[in-house]
A and B are shown apart, each in its own frame.
Chain A
Amino acid sequence: MERRAFLGSGLVMAVSMTGALPLRAALLEDNLECGVFLELQADGLVRLFLNKSEMGQGVMTGLAQIVADELGVAWEAMRLVQARAEERYVDPVGGRMVTGGSTSIRHMWRPLQEAAATARELLIQAAAVTWGVEPGTVRMDGGLLATGNGHSAPFGRFIALAKRMPWPERSQLRLRSADQHTLLGRPVPRVDVPDKVQGRACFGLDARPRDVPVAVLAWPPAFGARPGRIDEAAARAMAGVRHVVPLEGAVAVVADTTYQALQGAEALGVDWQGGARLDDRIVTESFAAALQQQGLLAVHRGEVEMGLAGAKTIEAFYELPYLAHVTMEPMNCTVLWHKDRCQIHVGTQNQTEALATAARVSGLPPARIDIQTTYLGGGFGRRLATDMVAEAVAIAKAIDGPVQLVHRREHDFQAGMFRPGCHSLLRGAVGEDGAILAWSHHVATQPLAGPGGQKPGVDRAAVAGVADLPYAVKALEVRWSPVTLPIPVWPWRSVGASHNAFVVESFVDELAYLAQADPLAYRLSLLQGNEAALNVLRLAGEHAAYRPKPAGGGRRQGVAYHYSFGSNCAMVADVTVQDGRPKVARVVAVLDCGPVVNHDLVAAQVEGAVVMGLSAAMKEAVHFAEGGVQSVNLHQYDLLRCDEVPPIEVHLTQVMREVGGVGEPALPPVAPALANGYFAATGRRIRRLPFLAALDQPVRQHTPPAAS
């Protein structure tokens, strides 16, 4: 597409931005339909339209740092605007407007840098023409264009002329070199922190205009149940209740205020029809049955059975529970409904799907739907789903008016969308020299369709970190058996790695003990040639003052390593034991995510991932009963609390040259580091999570499939 057509079309809010220079920032693969907008204003401000959602990971700050640094403007000149849900803002790599998979910086760094460099180049050309000098003599720093011999002016002065300059070829762009960075790599304070500290940040629940009513859902106790006869009398008699709206699998009560809607939904009498047969026993039996199947072959390399026939062998059965995201802000969505158009305020990780969902449910064309992304009160994958949008739009359409849908916390649990449980059966053999002769790994999980929908074949998430096992093994067989259960499952921070890293890293530890090797040294010996992995493990050992010791009392150390989302992470957990229960005394984490935009943002993500990983490992499990979820609020599903958190040391290292993910990779190693440390301290191997529950229960065995 012609560049002039872009500039002439006034795509970027041209009405309000007289004199502004809209720059199409989509250069990747020359695909002009992808990208984000930079807007340089004559008054010296730079607007960055963010196509990523701020859910605590600091993405606003990180992306703005990239732009300000490359463009050459003061940090204070940046103005951040959350982009509307529109095709033109899609992630140029992923092709969708989605925040997930630890990809924001990975995908946006280069396109934003190129967009900023393009803008700078146009301005330099304009300044050079104005001053009658060679473009090569003009620089742009701190918002000023200047030559070495006296010319200097703020960039705003050149905007009109820059619009008429020839668009530089992508191949001609000269990105700033390392010594020219003023903001990249600096711990710039987060732009969202002041508002969050003053209580001014607008989350989805805060986006409701005063006179917009609130909808709360009566939700069935069993998955899949449908509302039959509805006794509305008690609810309708309550103050403020305006509407009762039956939906497909729930009934909405709409009232003037949140409290009235909460009370109204509670008072509603619903005769639920049908629904799933489900409880904890059925869950366990379904996994056991799945492991009886042969399953789908994901990897088959070498002679596994031959390897298992001789030498020293071990068999282990691992069990992990379903987990809830528990974003502190329950799901919600505000729809300002105007019949022929609507505006939606929602904290979503998935604008593309939110728009498609709203269009499908409302019947409105996407162009008539304006999706505004608020701050997200936690994401962790849960807000990749758009169930809250579908519900809110359906209610708005039914009552033909605006509404804010609020999930009460119980409903947030009951609606499911859990990290799938996982049972795994492993067999391994080591030779006299400690080499792993065979590794047989059978995973049973529910298929994790996620936002991309179900794909045929082996579920990639189910075997993540196993199919691509980093350790040297002579023979590897990985199989996956899908589990059929009516539980809605969904990506949860670090997805498949959140269960498989526990299994793989525990089992490597088991093999190390079988080989009578130190667990850290053993890993190093099996990762030869993988410099980034060796580096994070060695550093973790150094920073934790790791010392090999036999299992026994006192403080012991557990090691774990995992590669996920493009980054390497190693961890050492110092574990003490009191009355048979573990206490983590310290976690040392080393992350190699390649080049870093802002070290403090990365450190915060690692700290948070360690806490979430430890919370899940120690405490968390969703329980099922009577067709649905038994643990429906925080008294039944407790999270790690302030007095249970150990000191967490974060070290970043940069052997990798590629940019890796940050939000997720530090979560997977936590649980195995804990379990390995507990084993070092007690000689007892915990193969079942959560830890605290496993300690109180007898060891469970899986009956392996009969030989055929």
Chain B
Amino acid sequence: MVAMPHRSLSINGSTYVVEVGDDVPLLWVLRDLLLLRGTKYGCGIGQCGVCTVMVGGQALRSCLLPVGEVREAVTTIEGLAADHPVKRAWISEQVPQCGYCQSGQIMQAAALLQQTSKPTESEIRSAMRGVLCRCGTYNRIVRAIQVASGQVS
């Protein structure tokens, strides 16, 4: 058997050394090797977005991202500050229902606000279109992002 390369990853401000092949998607490194299970598996083909994490400030689908291509620091739901404005707004607006997609929604929203501090409703909706929610919490998501960006209270 081929020996797996040792790889160093910066995740949520910590450095992890994992023994894993280049082609393994970041999602499974997070969930299975590092036990960071806030990031979810949904479709495996980048269509549902529930696996969204931030890599170097960009929201990316971790199910499609081979760990060998991860060059920048990764932030997952566990690494986003517990009192981050997006998380606070998600609580105040009572966004989640089943909650399964919400890590992906929150990471997508945090990335959006990092790039656009006061997005319009249409900017919010188009930025969030990549993350599916079967419970239908979309309108609360939009409102929570408006709250988090100080546009409504």
New A-B pairs, 16, CB < 8 Å, besides A56-B135, A258-B28: A192-B96, A193-B95, A195-B99, A198-B38, A198-B82, A205-B37, A325-B134, A326-B134, A604-B137, A604-B140, A641-B128, A642-B124, A642-B126, A642-B131, A642-B141, A645-B125
Contacts of A56 in B (CB 8 A): 96-99, 135
B136 near A607: Cβ-Cβ < 8 Å: yes
Q: Which of B50, B87, B140 contacts A607 (CB 8 A)?
A: B140
Cα-based distance from A206 to B124 in the complex (angstroms) = 30
Per-residue contact bits, chain A 546-579, to B (CB 8 Å; 1 contact, 0 not): 0000000000000000000000000000000000
Cα-based distance from A190 to B98 in the complex (angstroms) = 11
Let me know if A594 is at the binding interface, CB within 8 A.
Answer: no
B41 near A258: Cβ-Cβ < 8 Å: yes
Contacts of A611 in B (CB 8 A): 133, 135-136, 138
Contacts of A55 in B (CB 8 A): 98
Let me know if A693 is at the binding interface, CB within 8 A.
Answer: no
Cα-based distance from A193 to B39 in the complex (angstroms) = 16
Contacts of B126 in A (CB 8 A): 642-643
Q: How far is the CB of A60 from chain B (nearest CB, A)?
A: 12
Cα-based distance from A375 to B90 in the complex (angstroms) = 19
B100 near A639: Cβ-Cβ < 8 Å: no
Which of A140-148, A327-335, A694-702 is the interface stretch?
A327-335
B129 near A328: Cβ-Cβ < 8 Å: no
Cα-based distance from A635 to B139 in the complex (angstroms) = 23
Q: Which of B43, B97, B124 contacts A634 (CB 8 A)?
A: B43
Per-residue contact bits, chain A 187-208, to B (CB 8 Å; 1 contact, 0 not): 0011011111111110101100
* Known contacts A375-B98, A643-B129; A259/B24 CB under 8 A: yes
Residues 31-50 (chain B) with a chain A CB within 8 angstroms: 31-33, 35, 37-45, 47-48, 50
Cα-based distance from A516 to B102 in the complex (angstroms) = 48
Per-residue contact bits, chain B 115-146, to A (CB 8 Å; 1 contact, 0 not): 00000001011101111111111111110000
Cα-based distance from A259 to B31 in the complex (angstroms) = 10
* Known contacts A199-B103, A376-B98; A634/B91 CB under 8 A: no
A201 near B47: Cβ-Cβ < 8 Å: no
Some 13 contacts from A to B, beta carbons below 8 A apart, are: A56-B97, A194-B91, A196-B102, A198-B87, A199-B76, A258-B32, A259-B25, A377-B100, A604-B140, A607-B136, A610-B136, A615-B136, A639-B134
Across chains A and B, the number of contacting residue pairs, with CB separation under 8 Å, is 175
A239 near B136: Cβ-Cβ < 8 Å: no
Report, as a range, how many residues of chain B touch the other chain.
Answer: 35 or more
Cα-based distance from A607 to B122 in the complex (angstroms) = 19
A378 near B134: Cβ-Cβ < 8 Å: yes
Cα-based distance from A37 to B37 in the complex (angstroms) = 31
Q: How far is the CB of A214 from chain B (nearest CB, A)?
A: 8
Most buried by A among B40, B50, B133: B133
B78 near A199: Cβ-Cβ < 8 Å: yes
Q: Tell me the B residues contacting A by CB distance below 8 Å.
A: 1, 21, 24-25, 28, 31-33, 35, 37-45, 47-48, 50, 76-78, 82, 87, 90-91, 94-103, 106, 122, 124-126, 128-142
A196 near B99: Cβ-Cβ < 8 Å: yes
Let me know if A19 is at the binding interface, CB within 8 A.
Answer: no
A190 near B94: Cβ-Cβ < 8 Å: yes
Contacts of B48 in A (CB 8 A): 328, 634
Which residue of chain B has the shortest Cβ distance to A57 in the bound complex?
B97
Interface of B (DSSP majority class): loop
Q: How far is the CB of A629 from chain B (nearest CB, A)?
A: 15
Cα-based distance from A450 to B138 in the complex (angstroms) = 30
Cα-based distance from A199 to B77 in the complex (angstroms) = 6
Q: Which of B28, B76, B99, B135 contacts A201 (CB 8 A)?
A: B99
Per-residue contact bits, chain A 515-542, to B (CB 8 Å; 1 contact, 0 not): 0000000000000000000000000000
Cα-based distance from A325 to B91 in the complex (angstroms) = 27
Q: How far is the CB of A192 from chain B (nearest CB, A)?
A: 7
Which residue of chain B has the shortest Cβ distance to A614 in the bound complex?
B136
Let me know if A470 is at the binding interface, CB within 8 A.
Answer: no
Contacts of B25 in A (CB 8 A): 259
B42 near A328: Cβ-Cβ < 8 Å: yes
Per-residue contact bits, chain A 595-634, to B (CB 8 Å; 1 contact, 0 not): 0000010001001111110010000000000000000011
Contacts of A491 in B (CB 8 A): none
B38 near A200: Cβ-Cβ < 8 Å: yes
* Known contacts A259-B24, A634-B45; A205/B40 CB under 8 A: yes
Q: Which of B40, B50, B106 contacts A197 (CB 8 A)?
A: B106
Report, as a range, how many residues of chain A touch the other chain.
Answer: 35 or more
B98 near A635: Cβ-Cβ < 8 Å: no
B90 near A197: Cβ-Cβ < 8 Å: yes
Which residue of chain A has the shortest Cβ distance to B88 in the bound complex?
A197
Cα-based distance from A257 to B44 in the complex (angstroms) = 15
Contacts of B97 in A (CB 8 A): 56-58, 604, 608
Per-residue contact bits, chain A 367-404, to B (CB 8 Å; 1 contact, 0 not): 00000000111111000000000000000000000000
Contacts of B91 in A (CB 8 A): 189, 193-194, 197
Let me know if A302 is at the binding interface, CB within 8 A.
Answer: no
Contacts of B87 in A (CB 8 A): 197-198
Q: How far is the CB of B142 from chain A (nearest CB, A)?
A: 7
Contacts of A193 in B (CB 8 A): 90-91, 94-96, 99
* Known contacts A608-B135, A635-B45; A378/B76 CB under 8 A: no
Contacts of A189 in B (CB 8 A): 91, 94
Contacts of A378 in B (CB 8 A): 98, 100, 134-135
Which residue of chain B has the shortest Cβ distance to A61 in the bound complex?
B94
Cα-based distance from A639 to B91 in the complex (angstroms) = 25
* Known contacts A258-B31, A377-B100; A328/B45 CB under 8 A: no
B125 near A642: Cβ-Cβ < 8 Å: yes
A633 near B94: Cβ-Cβ < 8 Å: no
Contacts of B95 in A (CB 8 A): 193, 197
Contacts of A327 in B (CB 8 A): 98, 100, 134
A635 near B47: Cβ-Cβ < 8 Å: yes
Q: How far is the CB of B8 from chain A (nearest CB, A)?
A: 20
Let me know if A276 is at the binding interface, CB within 8 A.
Answer: no
Q: Which of A198, A205, A639, A645 contacts B77 (CB 8 A)?
A: A198
Which residue of chain A has the shortest Cβ distance to B25 in the bound complex?
A259
B96 near A328: Cβ-Cβ < 8 Å: no
Q: How far is the CB of A273 from chain B (nearest CB, A)?
A: 28
Which residue of chain B has the shortest Cβ distance to A54 in the bound complex?
B98
Contacts of A257 in B (CB 8 A): 28, 32-33
Which residue of chain A has the shortest Cβ distance to B24 in the bound complex?
A259
Let me know if A647 is at the binding interface, CB within 8 A.
Answer: yes
